[in-house]
Amino acid sequence: MSEYPLVIENLSFQYRTRPVPAIENISLELAQGEMLLIAGSSGCGKTTLARCINGLIPRSYGGTRSGKLLLHGKDVSEMSLVQVAQVVGTLLQDPERQIVASNVYNEIAFGPENLGLPREEILSRVDKVMKRLKIEHLRGRDTFTLSGGEKQKVALAGLLVMQPSILMLDEPLASLDPASAHEALMVFRSLADEGTTIILVEHRVEDALDARPDRMLYMENGKVSYLGPIQDLPPGIDHHQVKLPADWIVRRTLETHEDVGMHVTPLAAVNGEVMVSFEDVGFSYSSELPAVLKNVNLKIHQGDLIAVLGPNGAGKSTLVKHAIGLLKPTKGRVLVNGADTRKLSVAQVARTLGYVFQSPTHMLFAPTVREELSFGPQNLGYPAAEIERNVAESLVTVNLNGLEEYPPLGLSFGQQKRTTIASVLAMRSRIMVMDEPTAGQDYANYTRFMDAMCSADEGRKSLLSENFAATLFITHDIDLAVTYANRVLVVGDGGIVADGRPEDVLKDFGFLERYRVRPSSLLRLNLELLPKTGRFLPAGMLAGYVS
């Protein structure tokens, strides 16, 4: 039997429907208790490699596989999926796909119950895992009432309670607030120290470094581009493709004398007409639950680029669902273009506000991507020529060209997310509202989209200035607020606890940490250089101001 929990030798796989291999000649060995960080741009083969390790390839995905993949010395192709699942616990990108029970406690206990473990053992395991992840307060909750981040924690608990020897984590930080992400990473580190082998697939490389991974596997075009210690990352790793710490990017920019081009900056706030107004809004999901929102007053103006920050479960999504009319306040009122949302249908509100849900599966239904993007504009009565033009422009903006005839629910999570964004872009609502727009996206894809959506330079207009009056995005990525917002809201304690320019709201680290927002290296460097720059800048732009 191999001394390594995982051994991969010359592993290649080509999907039946694809003309070229998704991964080629991958070889590596992982020791017990080792943590490996896997990074790379979208489509580089990370997900395919993960599917090979957890046994979904070749069982659930047709194609040609060659090479070896051994779990504790046994080839995964010779094991049943049940046997593989007891060795490799997999956390999916989208927790909606993983949660099966209606109650949190039942969800976590589901796996051990199916193994037939004694009741006392199940109770003990569930209690220990909930305490470890600090989710005891969710024990009696219905899973459908949880926020995206809370669902992610519950899905993780359902894995840890099974005590797998290998833990496969596919973007586990995507839905978590920064403090919860840090806590999760500390759990991963402690699990590795206790002997669990951890495979961490993550676009947020800077955040993942908190867990002190032993090695990093960087993939390009289905092949291993780098495998080794993180401290020694080679210059070949493109900081435009994966998100690296700001000081690394500055150093690389200076070393390579990279031309960072003309500065792209968030559009200046113009304090235009009031488009949406919250007046003393209160809301509770039921009379038995505490109020999620209390006495909220907020105005969204033309020209606003608003980043909404705050902890999981604070009410961020609840807040924006009031703006689009999906929820009606139990107290106070919400006005859209001066009209009370209680008197408007969701379709009427959609002409003003287009909403991208946190989970793509809540939106997607059409047979093809093209039909998905056409549905909204058709229902709003747009002319056929305008619909065709809007769909084409939206596909280019989110980098989905060539996938027009694919079924949306057959795409990767990141591609599904971009499809939902494109479907709202195509509607040309006056205000764009996005819940976690970067979830499942590699750095290159989301910076491309956010640049097109939110930024302008002297040579071109942005999508916002040309087609939208304002945009609002909920995010746990503080660098998104630093780079693209001209206004930041922090939601907590049942309301809005801060509202102002990014340079003002994000300078008090004690306040941010109180609301589970962890300062990033980019924020720290921007605040340090603010007397020189006069504004927040992307990391590459800061190189010109560093001594």
For the chain, domains (ranges, CATH) are 6-239 (3.40.50.300), 267-510 (3.40.50.300)
pLDDT confidence tier of residue 414, bands split at 50, 70 and 90: confident
Report whether pLDDT(221) > 60: yes
Mean pLDDT, residues 506-510 = 96
Residue with the bigger pLDDT between 235 and 147: it is 147
Measure CA 441 to chain center: 7
In angstroms, the CA 121 to CA 360 distance is: 36
Q: Mean pLDDT for the chain?
A: 89
Give the model's pLDDT for residue 228. Answer: 93
Whole-number pLDDT of residue 457 = 53
pLDDT at 544 over 80: yes
Round to whole Å and give the CA distance between 497 and 229: 41
The helix (run of H) or strand (run of E) holding residue 280 is strand 274-283
Region for 163 from its dihedrals, namely left if φ exceeds 0, alpha if ψ lies in -120 to 50, beta otherwise: left
Tokens of 360: 């793509």
Please give the pLDDT value at position 305.
92
Dihedral sign from CA coordinates of 146, 523, 497, 345: negative
Q: Are 45 and 208 in contact (CB under 8 A)?
A: no
Q: What is the tens place of the pLDDT at every residue in 473-501?
A: 999 999 999 999 999 999 999 999 999 99
Chain mean position to CA 395 = 20
Count of CB atoms situated within 10 Å of the CB of 528: 13
End-to-end CA distance of the chain: 55
Residue 106's pLDDT is 95
Tell whether the model's pLDDT for residue 141 goes beyond 80.
yes
Average pLDDT of the residues in 499-507:
96
Burial of 258 (0-12, 13-18, 19+ CB in 10 A): middle
Residues 287-341 have pLDDT tens digits of: 888 899 999 999 999 989 999 999 988 999 999 999 999 999 999 999 999 999 9
Task: Quote the Cα angle for 434-440-444, to 5°.
Answer: 90
- 259 pLDDT exceeds 70? no
Report the C-alpha gap between 517 and 506 in whole angstroms: 9
pLDDT value for 61: 87
State yes or no: pLDDT of 458 exceeds 60.
no
The whole-angstrom separation of Cα 214 and Cα 129 is: 24
Sequence-distant (6+) residues with CB within 8 A of 457 are 262, 263, 264, 265
What is the model's pLDDT at position 261?
53
User: pLDDT per residue over 41-60, tens digit each?
Assistant: 877 899 899 999 999 998 88
Distance CA 31, CA 450 (A): 39
For the cut 70, the answer to whether the pLDDT of residue 464 exceeds it is no
Q: With beta carbons less than 8 A apart as the criterion, state whether 229 and 37 touch.
A: no
- pLDDT, tens digit, 9 for 90 and up, residues 352-397: 999 998 888 889 999 999 999 999 999 989 999 999 999 999 998 8
What strands lie across the sheet with 305-309, from one edge to the other?
353-356, 431-435, 470-474, 305-309, 487-492, 495-500
CB 370 within 8 A of CB 426: no
The percent of residues in the chain predicted with pLDDT above 90, rounded, is: 61
pLDDT at position 265, please?
55
Q: What is the CA radius of gyration of the chain?
A: 23
In the block, which residue shows the tokens 């693209």? 484
Question: What is the per-residue pLDDT for 58?
Answer: 85
Give the pLDDT confidence of 53-81 residue by residue, as tens digits. 999 998 888 899 999 999 999 999 899 98
Spatial distance between the Cα atoms of 309 and 321, rounded to a whole number of angstroms: 15
Task: For residue 92, give both structure tokens.
Answer: 């999916």
Distance between CA atoms of residues 213 and 200, nearest Å: 9
Show the tokens assigned to 396. 């280019």
Rounded to whole angstroms, the Cα distance separating 157 from 99 reads 11
Q: For 175-189, what is the mean pLDDT?
A: 89
How far apart CA 41 and CA 222 sit, in angstroms, is 10
Q: Which residues contact 341 (CB under 8 A, 6 or more apart)?
A: 322, 325, 328, 333, 334, 335, 349
- Number of helices (H), then strands (E), in the chain: 21, 22
- Written as six digits, the tokens of 80 are 């049943």
pLDDT reading at 461 higher than 70: no
Q: Is the pLDDT of residue 1 over 70?
A: no
Q: In percent, how much of the chain has pLDDT > 70?
A: 95
List C-alpha distances in Å: 155 to 115, 217, 311, 422.
17, 25, 18, 28
The pLDDT of residue 264 is above 80:
no
